[in-house]
Chain A
Amino acid sequence: MVDPIIASATLFGGMFLALIAGVPIAIALGGLSVILVLVFWGANGMSMLALRAFGTTSSFEYVAIPLFIFMAGMLERSGLAERLFTTVNYLVRRIRGGLAVGVILICTLFAAMAGISGAATVAMGMLALPAMLSRGYSKDIALGSLAAGGSLGILIPPSVTMIVYGLISNTSVGKLYAGGVLPGLVLAVMFIIYVLLRCRFQPGLAPTAEDIEAADPPTISEVLWALLPALFLMFAVLGSILFGLTSVSESAAIGAIGSILVAGLLGHVSFKVLNEVSHMTLKTTCLIFWIIIGASAFSTLYTALGASGLIRDIVLGWELNRYVILALMMLILLILGMFIETVGIIMITVPVFLPIAKSLGFDPVWFGILFIINMEIGFITPPFGYNLFYLKGVAPKGVTMLDIYKSVVPFVGVMILGIVLFTLVPQIVLLLPNALF
């Protein structure tokens, strides 16, 4: 029997060195697990990686991932954002900071259709960012609301991150989906309150109606053309999953097909668009799956060597208040989120954290949602945050990376406040999963 302490030290030490040396995450995890299997188990255990690689990629539940990514890519280019923007734009025109509120609202709607966080940020960034900046919105409010609003995509179902988390942690994806709905809406409301308060006390940050030329009210048909396709897709994806009509993968396929139909209806489907979306889908899917493949042997090895049990016993041995341990875990996730890709964090930390959370008597679905919110924060915390890169990619000249970094800080604060709120009132998370399942 190998000493779990030596095993853990080798495991995490090797991983830290490889990642710092800039080795791609998937390759670092995969290569290290092969070496460690060889060292600790010898040649007999060597076929484990290949077995797990096939086992993971051939599971039907994972089929939902590329389909949801495709759907999000299609939505981003479907022209739906433009239509929603025109309508919402009119509704919020009298409010100081109204456009930023509108951005958060549309991002929330998008989050209920798209399972990744980039779609809303890119689609709305191209549209709303020039509009806001030219009307005198400060970069702070404009960029921050886009980055934070977009990150809701992984908390409000459907969510690719939740699928990965659910399968790795053996938590029901349906329950996680149900658990993400209310916290997602609460966070959206908190973002909006923050924007409104900030604009009220610092009126220079955003203009009001007097500063903007009068907008024409949208016609009924314009409103319908914006809302109906959105509602149709939301129902296709969520209605089916939450009410148990289809499996997650089936509703993902229905959503993907539906997104092509909607984009076609709005006149935005062409060979070029399908080509772009299929490229993005393959690249993003492979990014996620190769990390899962590389890490799958890693987590098996890790659990089998007794390392995860050891760490759990050590942590429980401290006999701290369970909320202190929870806060520690959240802090670690927050820090990892600044540097490492979401799926990588899930693969590395879930085998360690989940047994601890369970021993402390926390509900796994509730813990999962807090975990996901931390991943959401990871999407917008520098230096490594996808939404920041996406935003930089679509931002007009004159917006620097530093502008973007600064803009997200207060929103991260709001999200941490959200985590505290959901810890104090766990019913916000658990109400729907308990009612539906």
Chain B
Amino acid sequence: MIIRILGEGQFRVADAALADLNSADDAIEKAVAADDQQALSQALAALHAKVVAAGQPVADDELEDSDLILPAADASVEEVRELLEESQEGLLPG
């Protein structure tokens, strides 16, 4: 599975390592909903560290689309919200 960290490039991560990443999703969604910048930055940084540790960088000249895309580590709550609001589902309140 290929994961892109925005601004950092793509990483190929073994499916076995993915279970560990699931928990971060909740934390990030909660942080965005609660407008908690510090929690968001922490959750993103922890998640990125896991991805980078578990994955191999995808070669620059490989043209593959990613299965997952993660916001940049220094993304603000507003940026992440904007990204999410662009999806048709509009899952986030407000």
Same complex: no
